[in-house]
Structure 1
């Protein structure tokens, strides 16, 4: 990357550059083709970033006018702390930006937002097969040891 990397809050004008990253993120996790998210989910996700009543936020990584990555995060209450926790819901970088510090910069930006909000913890999940991402995550956070269970309704 010859141009400086900027991490910033997403704006409404970013939609056309955000959407390919969002689609890439969903494809990475097998949500494409017949299993793609409904368009309504994408539209609702996008609108939540700009709704002051929603706890969902987004930052993007930009260089030379190109969006290279995204991070979506949200704040939620918990029974183990007074201040809300920060959940890093989605993190994705374009293929060309991998291994160049974009993912780390996005994580650090979420850490900064969590500190500003008084959140005592940032946490996230990744798939057990996502070993490339885990190499970064092991450098910037600690594994909690928790196993995730879920039931689709």
Structure 2
């Protein structure tokens, strides 16, 4: 049985391994200071929140990060699920769905009106899960990279 719990300072090595797996999956890299800042902000549990999934033996097998923000279409907030990763050996066992469910339940208690996220268009495996647990909005994502 998978358990989900908030990330703690003691989880740093496990979080690092999963975080690096996530970045590798998306063929990305972030500077060490960004990873350090991200972890510290997750621990502060103020703007960015995080949880780990663990297997029956207590080994970390997945992570999720999320945040809330005000919105113009509601007087409440939206919840943005920013990062979701399940270790390759744990995929297909319901871990991703459990992590999404954890964020959904947290957001409901927090008072958010919806949970939303983005994924790569060609991420067919993840999208099959997302199609089961959420509604595709049909929107296309654009962004402008701003350099300091």
1:2-37 deviation line (CA, Å, top 9, x unaligned): xx2101111110000111100010111111xxxx21
TM-score relative to the length of structure 1: 0.92
TM-score relative to the length of structure 2: 0.95
The structure 1 segments of at least 4 consecutive aligned residues displaced by more than 2 Å after TM superposition are none
**Which one of 1, 6, 9 corresponds to residue 6 of structure 2?**
9
Which structure 2 segments of 5+ residues have no match?
Answer: none
- 1:133 matched to which residue of 2? 126
Which structure 1 segments of 5+ residues have no match?
Answer: none
**CA RMSD, aligned part only?**
0.8
**Which one of 47, 61, 71 corresponds to residue 68 of structure 1?**
61
SS at match of 1:120: strand
- 1:58 matched to which residue of 2? 50
1:49-84 deviation line (CA, Å, top 9, x unaligned): 1225x3110011012121000000000111111111
How many pairs are equivalent?
145
**Partners of 1:99 and 1:113 in 2: CA distance:** 23
